[in-house]
Amino acid sequence: MTTPVCCPPGSWPQLLRPKSEINKDHAPKLAGTLITLPETTDYNAYVVEPKADVKFLGSIMVFPDIYSVRALTPNCRSGDRIGSIYDALAEKGYRVALLSLFGDKPYDLAVKGPDDGDFERFDSFAQAGGVDWFKQQSYSVLSPKVKACAKFLQNVGPDDNKAIGVVGFCFGTWLLSKTSAMDDIDFSCAVGCHPATIWRALCLVATKSP
């Protein structure tokens, strides 16, 4: 099976739209709420409650890709496509929790863009500081956030439906693979969306990578 390139040429200009565009009329209205997960001080998640007039189907945890998502980092005008997906899931009857994996320092806010402005040939993995940023996102750093989010979803779910599914976008596909391989959380199902070009290697070594 072949997959499209994760971060194709031209992606970064979309992440650098001016802040003046944030509240434009065409910006999708956010349907959920940003919360601090219980029993934590700085683990956050954007939670969208299921639509009131449909049957509750279960909970879904979402692991974003490395870039800004508007629901988590309001100063950026990115992540609207991911937002439309979790909002749509909530309309179908799911409680959706988009986990803030990187706090206020997702990749595009933490790592400087190319000085020459040549975004068409920009390589996020080769950019100065990029490798160091990835090294900081180890499983030992991220897993407590995942466990806190899972506990929250379990506690707020009804007694007859504690099921938790997980959706990972790009880097999030590695995280869901690693979490499943470590048997830390019993996900009912898992889906990886637009995985990175190295996703197969990441998933195959999920039990060995730090």
Which of 55-65 are b and which e, b meaning 16 or more Cβ less than 10 Å from the residue's Cβ?
ebebbbbbbbb
Answer whether residue 83 shows pLDDT above 80. no
User: Helices 139-156 and 171-182 sit at what angle, rounded to 10 degrees?
Assistant: 80
pLDDT confidence tier of residue 201, bands split at 50, 70 and 90: very low
Percentage of the chain lying above the pLDDT 70 cut: 67
What pLDDT does residue 167 have? 94
Highest-pLDDT range among 71-80, 81-90, 94-103, 171-180: 94-103
Q: Are strands 94-99 and 164-169 parallel, antiparallel or unpaired?
A: unpaired
Answer whether residue 38 shows pLDDT above 50. yes
Answer whether residue 200 shows pLDDT above 70. no
What pLDDT does residue 157 have? 93
Answer whether residue 209 shows pLDDT above 60. no
Q: Are 153 and 59 in contact (CB under 8 A)?
A: yes
Q: What six digits make up the tokens of 54?
A: 């449909």
Highest-pLDDT range among 14-23, 25-34, 190-199: 25-34
Q: Mean pLDDT throughout 94-111?
A: 89
Question: What is the pTM assigned to this prediction?
Answer: 0.81
Answer whether residue 10 shows pLDDT above 60. no
The total of other beta-carbon atoms located within 10 Å of residue 163's CB is: 17
Answer whether residue 37 shows pLDDT above 90. yes
pLDDT confidence tier of residue 192, bands split at 50, 70 and 90: confident
